[in-house]
Amino acid sequence: MNELVRLSKRMSELGLSSRREADEWIAKGWVKVDGKVVSELGSKVLPSQKITIEKQASAEQSRKATILINKPVGYVSGQAEDGYQPAVVLIKPENRWEEDKSPMKFHRDQLKSLVPAGRLDIDSVGLLVLTQDGRVAKKLIGETTEIEKEYLVRVRYTKPGKLPDADLQRLNHGLMMDGKKLLPAKVTWQNDDQLRFILKEGRKRQIRRMCDMVGLKVTGLKRVRIGNVRLGNLPEGQWRYLRDDEQF
């Protein structure tokens, strides 16, 4: 606890900001350490020192948008690729859900630096989070995230009979991917052809690959929850703002 750490790193650890935000605020003189303004980039602090931010920083942060979208099939989560459009193109006034209760008003600046906080495959649908807020991105995709993600997955068994209970248990815990053991999951049958997956990690095409390992073919995949935030009745292809009373 007596080792010096970069101020921006410490601010990120405390959940005050992302590292990039921290550097911007430090340069603007909006950060105080033990009551004194620190404006030099690369400054270091002790973990025991008190860090506070000016009201301007809080106000700037509160204006940053976090948007929930019900992504349809055929859109990629991030940058355009292979001729497919990114989900961000759906964020326009005419696609805003009419039942969105947020008082935020849409303006084009909200599309700047709006990044996906986690992936959703091109052939998957459901809840996708796009945010300008580095704290949200870190919480959802950081290395130490504990946030659950819930999926409804339609499957077809490619072998005779039904999926053995032992293979269902393997889906819950025991599979390896890319030479590394997967974290425990919660996988249960919802009906004859639909599974519910609850994961705390998100490797590329993880659910499809997990199912493949036990002889299941995924025919549909929908993300319905991230942490405490649910897709709910948000229509496919439409979006809404994260409300002030919602926490992942």
Q: Give Cβ neighbours of residue 38 (< 8 Å, ≥ 6 apart).
A: 7, 26, 31, 32, 45
User: What does each of the 248 residues of the chain score in pLDDT, given as a tens digit?
Assistant: 578 999 998 988 887 887 888 898 899 999 999 999 999 999 999 999 999 988 888 777 667 889 999 999 999 998 777 788 999 999 999 999 999 998 888 888 888 888 899 889 999 999 999 998 888 888 888 656 789 999 999 999 999 999 999 999 999 998 999 999 999 999 999 999 999 999 998 888 999 999 999 999 999 999 999 999 999 999 999 999 999 889 88
Q: How many residues does the chain have?
A: 248
**What pTM does this model have?**
0.78
> 133 by DSSP, 3-state: which?
coil
Instruction: Please state the domain count of the chain.
Output: 3
* Domain-embedded: residue 183: yes
Catalytic residue among 23, 121, 133, 167: 121
Q: Is residue 187 domain-resident? A: yes
Residue 192 lies in a domain: yes
- Domain with 28 in it: 5-62
Q: Is 192 a catalytic residue?
A: no
Please list, residue by residue across 196-214, b when 16 or more beta carbons sit within 10 angstroms of its beta carbon and e when fewer do. ebebeebeebbbbebbeeb
DSSP structure string for 183-197: PP-EEEEEETTEEEE
Stated as kind and residue range, the H or E segment containing 240 is strand 239-241
Q: Are residues 163 and 213 in the same domain?
A: yes
